Amino acid sequence: MFRRLLPLLALLLMAVPAVAQERVLNVYNWSDYIDPEVVASFTRESGIRVRYDVYDSLETLEGRLSAGRSGYDIVVPTSEPTFARLLRAGALRPIDRAAVPNWANLNPTLMERVAAIDPGNRHGAIYLWGTVGLGIRVDRVRAALGDVPFDNLDILLKPENAARLASCGIMVMDSPTDVLPSVLRWLGRDPNSNAADDLRAAEQALMGIRRHVRAIIASSSILDALATGEACVALTYSGDVIQAATRAREAGRGVEVGYVMPREGAQLWFDMMAIPADAPNPEAAQQFINFLLQPDVMAAITNQVRYPNAVPASRPLVNEAVRNDPNVFPSAEALSRSFVAGTPPREAERLRTRLWSRFKAGR
């Protein structure tokens, strides 16, 4: 009996060092935010296996990371507030530029914008960026509202419009961080205000449409609901809407999805590739960042997820339809009206969280 098991045992022993040597990269990224083929080709090229987890809101990401020992090597927080807060808490590791030669491919003007919170850009490189706006079912909204201009948040936030659209499905992504600034801007207030009366006004605006809102759910579920036609107006991230539009078109069931970038000024955000201070495999993380910063790799990602990147040399390699889509690459004029969220102090953050619970509960 034992004799027969011996060869098996020998085989197992031989396999142990191989397993111990296997290199693993633990990635925690947004959902629907990469071309899976890119991950596969990184593994083929480097021999590093990728364990890939996803989140769909900054609140989820921050909750997971602030406990420490997340076990991740790569995370992708938005520059403000999440990346800024993690940085301040000492939760991010400086990136060794010598290990990331493709850093030179990054657009210096865009990187300058995030240098204000990360002097010298020591802890993060821009992965992708985009705006917050509305995904709409164009025909349904046209039928319900008539010939109004489809270029601002009136569609969602004016109670009379929301009442007309309620039956076809209004949804809002479950993220006070990425929703409140746009509501404040629509009200003509400072999108980054932490003043109690501004936040109260934002709450009133949201409560004014609450009974017409079908769902306040994770951004990943909003993408699905837009693609199937279950949502006819949804406040979410730009590229998610464009991905939903593509899926809806491919499904061929007559669902036509459009993106509305708020004319009053859209929230603009930058998502940063960063390495947690306690990352188990920071060398592999740097290798991965370097891999992603290649122009052809970045072009593949933008083509797939419909968000612009920060590698200008990728631009000629992006499909023409994507390259010329002003919802993917906003015009200079639209950008000049946009704003970037700030980092609310603790007390204001508490007010925002409480306000959001009341909005979700509807009272």
- Chain residues that interact with ligand N2P, rule: CB under 6 A: 30-33, 78, 219, 237, 240, 269, 271
Q: Residue 177: which of 57, 14, 63 has the closest Cα?
A: 57
Nearest-approach distance from CB 261 to ligand N2P, in angstroms: 14
Nearest-approach distance from CB 67 to ligand N2P, in angstroms: 21
* Measured distance CA(268)–CA(178) in Å, rounded: 10
Nearest-approach distance from CB 305 to ligand N2P, in angstroms: 7
Considering the complex, state which of residue 79 and residue 286 has its C-beta at the smaller distance from ligand N2P: 79
CA atoms within 13 A on the CB side of 296: 3
Considering the complex, state which of residue 48 and residue 235 has its C-beta at the smaller distance from ligand N2P: 235
* Measured distance CA(49)–CA(55) in Å, rounded: 20
Considering the complex, state which of residue 58 and residue 162 has its C-beta at the smaller distance from ligand N2P: 58
Q: At what angle do helices 36-46 and 295-305 cross, to 10 degrees?
A: 150
Q: What's the start-to-end Cα distance of the chain, in Å?
A: 71
Considering the complex, state which of residue 281 and residue 327 has its C-beta at the smaller distance from ligand N2P: 327
Nearest-approach distance from CB 178 to ligand N2P, in angstroms: 7
- 207, two tokens: 């409560």
The dihedral of CA 2, 19, 69, 30: what is its sign? negative
Would you say 61 and 77 are in contact if contact means Cβ atoms under 8 Å apart?
A: yes
- Specify the amino acid at residue 334: A
Considering the complex, state which of residue 48 and residue 180 has its C-beta at the smaller distance from ligand N2P: 180
Considering the complex, state which of residue 219 and residue 287 has its C-beta at the smaller distance from ligand N2P: 219
Nearest-approach distance from CB 253 to ligand N2P, in angstroms: 23
Instruction: Return the CA Rg of the chain.
Output: 22
The helix/strand/coil state of 339 is strand
Nearest-approach distance from CB 271 to ligand N2P, in angstroms: 5
